[in-house]
């Protein structure tokens, strides 16, 4: 009986961890952001809600619309 409880608790915890990871990955795909690459190889990501993000995201949407 004790072994079954331990197995059930382990499976429940594993299921919760997998579900949490899947939820975070799905939520991350729906966030808009602008990635700025510099010549030295550095990268800055500006996500929605950051200062001046609305302006940069608007420009990025316009570039995508014109290119595609």
Beta-carbon contacts of residue 60 (< 8 Å; ≥ 6 apart): 34
Beta-carbon contacts of residue 56 (< 8 Å; ≥ 6 apart): 34, 46
User: pTM score, two decimals?
Assistant: 0.45
Give the residue from 52, 13, 54 showing the smallest Cα distance to 32.
54
Sequential pLDDT tens for the chain (68 residues)? 788 898 998 999 999 999 888 888 877 666 788 888 999 999 988 888 888 888 888 888 898 888 86
Q: How far apart are CA 25 and CA 17, in angstroms?
A: 12
């Amino acid at each position: 009986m004790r072994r079954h409880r331990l197995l059930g608790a382990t499976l429940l915890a594993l299921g919760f961890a997998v579900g949490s990871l899947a939820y975070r990955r799905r939520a991350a795909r729906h966030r808009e952001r602008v990635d700025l690459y510099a010549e030295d190889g550095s990268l800055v990501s500006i996500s929605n809600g950051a200062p001046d993000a609305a302006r940069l995201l608007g420009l990025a949407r316009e570039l995508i619309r014109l290119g595609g």
